[in-house]
Amino acid sequence: MGSVKDLEIIREASVERLGIGRFHFSDRYSIFDWGEMPDHIRNKGKALAVMAAYNFERLEEIGIPTHYRGLVRDGEIIRVDQLERWSGGADIMEVDLAIKHMPKEIHGEDGTTKYDYTFFDDNRGNLNNYLIPLEIIFRNGLPEGSSIFDKIRHAQSMVSTSTSERVLMGIMSSLGLDHVPEPGEMLPSPIVRYTTKLEPGDRELNEGEAEYISGLSVEQFKEVPALALKINDYITKRANETGLSPHWDGKVEMIYSDGLKAVDVLGTLDENRFGDRINKEFLRQWYDANQPEFHAACKEWKARGDGWQNECPIKPIELPETLSLLVSQMYMAAANKWIGKEVFNTFELDLIMDRLKAYRD
């Protein structure tokens, strides 16, 4: 299915009913859209599955529908509160499945590829049991490594002063700010942004473009950012309760099945950024510091479309063994704190993060 988890289909989805599937969470990880990196992070998959399951269960308690059916252990469907102390969690999650309608690829004579969402427009408001082809991103603040700072640096490097100022003003306006932000700054209020889901790259969309490709009616689409912000509020509250704050940003995916439902995985160290690099961002920044040419090559080559990783001349180096072990412990300790239960036998998160400082400072 992807670089970090695999999908087992139990029952195919149809327009009449949702399907059933199982996510098999692996210890693989991915950064910079590379796909599977050369190392595995031990027990990362179980930590993500447990965090995500806890979040789905809490969301359903507050009235937010999801596709979650339960964790799977020893062939049985269980809830998070059934996980015993130091049991090691579970790495399989059962979920409802929806239909995935792919946009039509249009290949230009110049070698470029565009994506046609006419199907979604022609069937607007009449589709059911389908994956909405959007990633919905919420931002609460701007941590070090945020893509916003790449945009700011690009604007500041423009030759034309007037153009640079105009672009900077647009960035600041979109964030609700009246000044150029610094890393670590929180926003006045959460904002929602969109990218494509079913294209090789995450193409940014404005709200009108997102509505167009969503396949939803105007009224249905209005519920998308509202639901995303409710999910964001829950995750932010939980981060504050567990000491993983601040909750910087994250993403959610949705299906439409007689209403919107939150799907895939949310509120984990891979989908969200918490605290002082208590997330996958730590690995991104380690590569930036220790193999900066790898990130630069990813930025250049991924614009070339599918299969670019095979052609890219720069390959990622392996993590030091001690670092890989500490990152494994970070995932497990964060999961313990998040669910309020010692499912994983590991050290306290604060101690692990102190030890990780040697690899980032």
Mean pLDDT of 56-66: 98
How do residues 225-268 score in pLDDT, each as one tens digit?
Answer: 999 999 999 999 999 999 999 999 999 999 999 999 999 999 99
pLDDT(54) > 80: yes
pTM: 0.94
Helix axes 349-356, 321-339, angle to 10 degrees: 150
pLDDT(110) > 90: no
Is the CA virtual torsion 89, 92, 94, 96 positive or negative? positive
Chain mean pLDDT for the chain = 95
Between 302 and 20, where is the model more confident?
20
How do residues 124-167 score in pLDDT, each as one tens digit?
Answer: 999 999 999 999 999 999 998 899 999 999 999 998 999 999 99
* CA separation for the pair 329, 351 (Å, rounded): 10
pLDDT of residue 280: 87
pLDDT of residue 268: 97
pLDDT of residue 361: 62
Pairing label, strands 92-97, 68-73: antiparallel
pLDDT of residue 242: 97
pLDDT of residue 201: 78
| pLDDT range class, residue 2, cuts 50, 70, 90 | low
Q: Examine residue 246 and say whether the peptide bond preceding it is cis (omega within 30 degrees of 0).
A: yes
How do residues 328-353 score in pLDDT, each as one tens digit?
Answer: 999 999 999 999 999 999 999 999 99
Between 305 and 108, where is the model more confident?
108
pLDDT of residue 306: 75
Residue 199 φ/ψ region, left for φ over 0, alpha for ψ in the -120 to 50 degree band, beta for the rest: beta
CATH of segment(s) 5-146+183-359: 3.30.470.20
As a whole-number percent, the residues of the chain with pLDDT over 70 amount to: 99
| pLDDT range class, residue 48, cuts 50, 70, 90 | very high
Give the start-end residues of each E strand in the chain: 5-11, 19-25, 68-73, 76-78, 92-97, 104-107, 113-116, 130-131, 134-142, 185-196, 204-205, 247-256, 260-263, 273-274
How do residues 168-203 score in pLDDT, each as one tens digit?
Answer: 999 999 999 999 999 999 999 999 999 999 998 789
pLDDT of residue 305: 74
Q: Residue 278 CA to chain centroid, in angstroms?
A: 14
As a whole-number percent, the residues of the chain with pLDDT over 90 amount to: 88
Q: Residue 152 CA to chain centroid, in angstroms?
A: 22
Give the start-end residues of each E strand in 267-348: 273-274
Contact 171, 151 (CB under 8 A): yes
